[in-house]
Homo-oligomer: A and B are copies of this chain.
Amino acid sequence: MVGPEIERLIQLLARLPGLGPRSARRAALKLLERRETLMEPLARAMTDAAARVAPCRLCGNFDTVDPCAICADPRRDPTLLCVVEDVAALWAMERTGSFRGRYIVLGGLLSALDGLGPEDLGIDRLIERAAAPDLAEVILALPATVEGQTTAHYLAERLAGGRAAVFGLAQGVPIGGDLDHLDDGTITAALRARRRV
């Protein structure tokens, strides 16, 4: 009952994270209702991004320049390298404004279930970067999940014996975290890593 053009629009929108079939339909309607103020600008923004944005060949971040603005920024500390799962994690780190080094994006985590091994994650590229003479620290900013920690362990082993020291993020109670609402694993980790005050 909906024409093929609208059907195709709905199907493609439904593949975006956060949109199911129902909300994709609502999104398609809003786009059709706001053709000039939303649908056409969004189509142009996508065409523009598709033409101009690409992964940085050094770190994997998305940018219109290659190397990306972070890799090319001379004010970045060359002694620090932060390993993240994906560009979303890189952006999350950048939003904090508390890391002034550079990054490497793995593009995934080791996963027996998904059949992802070290060769799929560009780990050779990481090992090569980690051998840079001015590098002092590799920070494994990987998720505190089984796959994240498996990957971190694997990387720590591969990087052991290199010149850079290898770090992981601290685990513990999140800021504003109420013990009653935290999972047991987090509380256990925070207790184990207790600090003298």
Q: Which residues of A contact B (CB under 8 A)?
A: 1-3, 5-6, 8-9, 12-13, 15-19, 23, 25-33, 35, 38-50, 52-53, 62-64, 69-70, 86-88, 91, 94-95
Contacts and interface: CB of A to CB of B under 8 A. Distances in A.
Given A27-B18, A35-B50, A38-B15, A45 B87 contact: no
A127 B47 CA distance: 44
The 8 closest A-B CB pairs, nearest first, are A18-B23, A43-B46, A12-B42, A16-B27, A1-B94, A43-B47, A9-B45, A17-B26
Given A1-B95, A35-B50, 14 more contacts: A1-B91, A1-B94, A5-B64, A8-B45, A13-B42, A15-B30, A16-B30, A18-B23, A18-B27, A29-B62, A31-B49, A33-B87, A42-B46, A43-B44
Tallying the copies of this chain within the complex gives: 2
Contacts of A48: 5, 8
A130 to B, nearest CB: 24
Nearest to A87: B29
Nearest to A48: B5
Nearest to A13: B42
Contact of A16 (B31, B62, B70): B31
A132 B55 CA distance: 61
A139 to B, nearest CB: 18
If over half of A's interface residues share one DSSP class (helix, strand or loop), that class is named, otherwise mixed; here it is: helix
Given A32-B87, A38-B12, A91-B25, A49 B5 contact: yes
A49 B43 CA distance: 10
Contacts of A46: 9, 31, 39-40, 42-43, 46
Nearest to A17: B26
Most chain B C-beta atoms within 10 Å of own C-beta, residue among A8, A9, A25: A9
A2 B95 CA distance: 10
Nearest to A52: B5
B26 A18 contact: yes
